[in-house]
Amino acid sequence: MADSSLFVFDFHQTIIYLLVYVDDIIITCNSSSQVSHLVTALSKAFELKDLGALSYFLGIQIVPSKFGLTLCQSKYASNVLHRFKMENSKPTKTPCCPNVRLTPFDGSVLPNPIEYRSMVGALQYLTFTCPDLAISVHQLFQFIHHPTTSHLEVAKRVLHYVRGTLHFGIHLTLGPLTFSAFFDADWAGDPTDRKIYYWNKQSTVSRSSIEAEYGALASIAAELAWLRTLFTELKLFLPQIPILWCDNNFAIALASNPVFHSRTKHIEVDYHYVRSCVLCSTLGIKFISGCDNFADIFTKPLPSPHFLVLHNKLLANTASSLRGDVKSKPRDKQSFDQMVQMPND
């Protein structure tokens, strides 16, 4: 199984999905009577409490509307702000200052790092439904063992940003099943050890930009392969192959070129893996301009105009979902500028 916590029952046009996390269970089915029958059967063997329709799971709120579902953590985020006494703080436009990289030598060492560690740990859990925090939280986590006063200030800035985006989350809309993935790599982006960043993960030091880009490409290709397997087990079949959008023409050419170049031997394994996916028609790779690449928001601190554009495309306002708007209304830049005061942007 692609996911050891997922159980699928498929018999006589009845499909039941059961997802288990420790002692929490989600059950869905194409027949409500079969769900009731399963809950009754489980209650005979285990002590159960039926909480009804899904609305809250592991700190994640599920906000339904006639156009889909929105996943957010506004309640959890509010509790985090209250815990660190920042519920009345002024929002900022972005979670971190653009073009600023943290180093171990910024500021003085904190005498008691417990607050910093607790703050960053709480922020990490928020990234499940707030992917716009990913790069900021990832940078903060690098200094979890030896944080400084400067690192703590940056962590508090992220909380200022959370204060202004409490009700934003990931919106899942009804529509055809298609996979589109975006990737990017910030080559030698860390000023301390020049490691590369992609999707909140840190890899080894790369000696070329193409190695960084292609390493990211191979990793996301593997993630897409896992998702295809998961969807197959869910009895859901994709009418089209996944499309991976890339802003590096050389990486696209390398994936499509049947001739392996000797100068790329250092990425040979990644090359052959991606190339095999393309040849087997399980993956398509297309070009997208850097300014339109969603993955940009996950790899580097961005200036506020670019950040807001990508943020509005990725996230939705749960308040709009509750009102039943046709589309989750994106954050209006002009009105947001009037609402917030952004220090040190």
List, for residues 28-59, the tens digit of each pLDDT value.
888 888 888 888 888 888 888 888 888 888 88
Query: CB neighbours of 224 closer than 8 A, spacing ≥ 6?
Result: 179, 181, 242, 244, 283
Written as six digits, the tokens of 9 are 């029952």
SS3 content of the chain, % helix, strand, coil (to 5): 40, 20, 40
Domain spans in the chain, listed from the N-terminal domain onward: 6-52, 72-172+303-339, 185-292
Q: Max alpha carbon distance in the chain (Å)?
A: 66
Bigger pLDDT: 243 or 197? 243
Residue whose structure tokens are 């060492």: 109
Q: What distance in Å separates the CA atoms of residue 345 and residue 333, rounded to the nearest whole number? A: 15
CA within 13 Å, CB half, 87 = 10
Residue whose C-alpha is closest to residue 160's, from 119, 129, 199, 192: 119
Q: Which residue has the higher pLDDT, 63 or 211?
A: 63
Determine how many CB atoms are found less than 10 A away from the CB of residue 269: 10
For residue 244, which phi and psi values (nearest 5 degrees)? Answer: -110, 120
The pTM of the full predicted model, rounded to 2 decimals, is 0.75
| pLDDT confidence of residue 222 | 84
Higher pLDDT among residues 3 and 147, named by residue: 147
Q: What is the pLDDT of residue 344?
A: 41
